[in-house]
Amino acid sequence: MKKNRQVISQIAIILIFMVGILTMLYPFYVDALNNVIDQVRVDRYLKESQKEFEAERKRLAEENNKLSDSGLAPGADPFANTNGGTVSSAYYKKHLIGTINLPDLAIELPLFDTTNDDLLEQGATVLDGTSFPVGGASTHAVISAHRGLPERELFTNLPEIKNGDIFLLNVLGETLAYEVFDSQVVTPDQTSVLKIEPGQDLVTLMTCTPYMINSHRLLVTGKRVPYTPAAEKKQVKGDRFRKLKQIAILGGTALLILAAIYQLYHVIARYRLRKVRFDFTVCLEGVAEHTPIALYDKKGKKALRRNGKAYQELTDQTGQVTFTDLPGDCYRLKLGKSWLVQFGLKKKKRPSKIWKINKKKVMLKEERMLEVK
């Protein structure tokens, strides 16, 4: 009963440890997994829609011309509700127009052409009533994304962006670069700051602030700049760092899970093995009759006891000693102050494994019989 309680206790400790680690690391490995899935989905959907890019760019540019004449009319605050859910693959593909990449934060998000609760759970969205992010004079696109979602990073670290940083929009097959020149915090109803500047090509990134309070809106605005080799190099560097981080997080999490599973297997296997009983005989050359040989655990720290006493057996006139009814496990033999050998039954229905100790010659004469010279 005592052994059973020990095994149950060990299993409970391992399970509690595993659940605790997975709970603590949840935001990191789920975000990394979502990023990998997003990358695969975005690449596939954009490749499938490549033939339609030119016509779609032309349509969005015409919509921008209308907004330039009539002025922006930003829709409802995108963060007023937080009841988003999953979306179908068809809906995802219909509204996906590209990605937004922030090299300094090492993030890349799917970019959608409209804003609603469902799409805000998936990535960044173009705020309704503002310009579409296809470039051009007298345009001002506003791109919104959440902060603080447990399963996605999104714009969580947007406050770290500073003036002079570059962000990139890959929209309908074309890459546009923008340089940050202004950051400000406003209330949700201050939409006048999102106006079109004549002749300017602007994009504003918008998210909630302060973190987890969300009473205000952080606006980070960039102006169009050439997409130079330096900007491309910065993007490649950010992408490389992001992918390495994803590999490290997912790989580390997988290793922790495998380690916990291995420990569970080890505890259960050892418990089952100890139910197997075996005898083991050792032949000692040059040892006098009636010499006590003591039995210890695998590490040699604890003497095994039987009937309340240290378990020892005496050699016979041939130097042979037999230990009987041993639970399946690994053991060490001790003669006086000297260690002889380490032996044990590690798996059911398999011969014992023998280790040489103190440079003595050790020979397995037959299964579970050992000769030491």
Res 2: pLDDT:
63
Q: Is 208 a catalytic residue?
A: yes
Res 72: pLDDT:
65
Q: Does pLDDT of 305 surpass 70?
A: yes
> 161-214: per-residue pLDDT in tens?
999 999 999 999 899 999 999 999 999 988 888 889 999 999 999 999 998 888
Mean pLDDT of 57-75: 78
Q: Please name each of the domains of the chain with its CATH number.
A: 64-238 (2.40.260.10), 277-372 (2.60.40.10)
pLDDT band at 373 (very low <50, low <70, confident <90, very high): very low
Q: Does pLDDT of 273 surpass 90?
A: no
Res 199: pLDDT:
92
Catalytic residue selected from 140, 146, 266, 330: 146
Res 355: pLDDT:
42
* HEC secondary structure over the chain: CHHHHHHHHHHHHHHHHHHHHHHHHHHHHHHHHHHHHHHHHHHHHHHHCHHHHHHHHHHHHHHHHHHHHHCCCCCCCCCCCCCCCCCCHHHHHHHEEEEEEEHHHCEEEEEECCCCHHHHCCCEEECCCCCCCCCCCCEEEEEECCCCCCCCCCCCCHHHCCCCCEEEEEECCEEEEEEEEEEEEECCCCCHHHCCCCCCEEEEEEEEECCCCCCEEEEEEEEEECCCHHHHHHHHHHHHHHHHHHHHHHHHHHHHHHHHHHHHHHHHHHHHHCCCEEEEEEEECCCCCCCEEEEEECCCCCECEECCEECEEECCCCCEEEEEEEECCEEEEEECCEEEEEEECCCCCCCCEEECCCCCCEEEEECCEEEEC
Res 359: pLDDT:
40
Q: Does pLDDT of 348 surpass 80?
A: no
If one compares 350 and 270, the residue with the highest pLDDT of the two is: 270
Res 210: pLDDT:
92
Catalytic residue selected from 95, 208, 216, 290: 208
Q: What is the average pLDDT score of the chain?
A: 85
Q: Does pLDDT of 364 surpass 70?
A: no
What is the pTM for the complete model shown? Answer: 0.73
Q: Does pLDDT of 71 surpass 80?
A: no
Q: Is 290 a catalytic residue?
A: no
> 4-16: per-residue pLDDT in tens?
788 888 889 989 9
